[in-house]
Amino acid sequence: MKQKYITLLITLFSLGAYSQAYEFSLQFNGTAGTGNFQFKLIATPDFDTTNSSTSDMGATIYIPTGYSLGNFAAGNSNLQFFEWQVNGEVTIGGEDLVSLVRTEIVQNNFTHTSGDSIELLLFEIISDGGDGNNPSSGSITLADNSDQNVIDNFFESFLNIDIGSGTNDYFSQHDPSANSINFETLSTTDNVLVDAELKLYPNPTTDVISINTRADITNVEFYNILGKRVLQTTQTENIPTSQLANGIYLVTMHTNQGQITKKIVKE
């Protein structure tokens, strides 16, 4: 009986340890001053911690062949941008599997509450040809640790931190709703309606947005950068946007003169 009780305690302790974890995601941050698409690597914890010492961490990412990751910049995590580097790259079909790794040089501590988004790093996707062109097809996707290509090439996503019991890996998974961004969506250009001057304002927006056009609008749809419709309305004035997460959205307006899609930024 005593042996069974000890075993139960060990099992419960193990389950408790794994309940503290970070989930990775990607966020499009717009076009940088270089003209390249810029992204954020985000870690979201499911626990609170104060002044916990970080260590090495990394993420494995698929990008289109012919591009690389670079021009690193610090996010709100205060991790130093020069600690990050591409630590491995392999071509698989029309994609490159890239290992992006932070090796601790400057000591840094995390203080956060559960659900807070932590910007581990800002980075750009850069054309290998030096032509400054952004990808218009394919995607940037966080690769799962169970992916055979990740296993075969000894790449993995991880986040090491000491929250009081020694340095351990507290990475759990990639957020399935924010683990991939389609470049075709980002590259969508504004259409032009004949005999209709259409404006969305204010842009960027925080709480509401309005549409000014001479065309008759029958339906308005908002899509996030993953291509998911997040809002549909027939309103043209003071459309509420406060419920939308911050980021880039495509607004498709169906009118009597055709369809037009424009980009807006929610802040």
pLDDT in tens, 18-44: 579 999 999 888 888 898 999 999 999
Sheet holding 247-255, edge to edge: 229-233, 217-224, 247-255, 258-266
| pLDDT score recorded for residue 247 | 87
In a domain, 62, yes or no: yes
Domain termination residue (choose one: 121, 156, 186)? 186
Same domain, 137 and 246: no
Which residues lie below 8 Å from residue 248, measured CB to CB, with a gap of 6+?
Answer: 28, 30, 186, 224, 225, 263, 264, 265, 266
| pLDDT score recorded for residue 214 | 81
Give the torsion sign (CA, 55, 61, 66, 69).
Answer: negative
| pLDDT score recorded for residue 191 | 54
Same domain, 85 and 174: yes
Domain termination residue (choose one: 156, 186, 216)? 186
| pLDDT score recorded for residue 140 | 96
CATH number of the domain to which 19 belongs: 2.60.40
Amino acid at 29: N
Amino acid at 13: F
| pLDDT score recorded for residue 216 | 85
Percent share of the chain, pLDDT over 70: 89
| pLDDT score recorded for residue 13 | 40
Cβ-count burial of 19 within 10 angstroms (0-12 exposed, 13-18 middle, 19+ buried)?
A: exposed
Per-residue pLDDT band at 188 (split at 50, 70, 90): low
Q: Does pLDDT of 218 surpass 60? A: yes
| 94-104 average pLDDT score | 97
Instruction: Residue 221: give the domain boundaries.
Output: 199-266
Of the candidate ranges 63-72, 128-137, 149-158, 254-263, the one whose mean pLDDT is the lowest: 254-263
Q: Does pLDDT of 55 surpass 80? A: yes
In a domain, 233, yes or no: yes
- The tens digit of pLDDT for each residue in 194-217 reads 444 678 999 999 999 999 888 888
Q: Is the pTM of this model over 0.75?
A: no
Average pLDDT, the chain: 87
CA distances from 39 to 32, 49, 117, 138, 250 (A): 9, 26, 14, 15, 17
CA distance 5 to 10: 9
Same domain, 175 and 220: no
Same domain, 124 and 27: yes
Beta bridge partners of 174: 24
Same domain, 33 and 165: yes
In a domain, 40, yes or no: yes
| pLDDT score recorded for residue 2 | 37
Same domain, 76 and 145: yes
Query: Strands 22-31 and 171-174, how do they pair?
Result: parallel
Which residues lie below 8 Å from residue 7, measured CB to CB, with a gap of 6+?
Answer: none
Same domain, 170 and 144: yes
In a domain, 57, yes or no: yes
| 127-146 average pLDDT score | 92
- The number of domains in the chain is 2
In a domain, 191, yes or no: no
In a domain, 193, yes or no: no
Same domain, 126 and 6: yes
Same domain, 81 and 146: yes
Same domain, 125 and 218: no
Same domain, 182 and 203: no
- Cβ atoms < 10 Å from Cβ of 165: 8
Domain termination residue (choose one: 154, 186, 218)? 186
Same domain, 167 and 230: no
Name the strand (E) or helix (H) holding 232.
strand 229-233
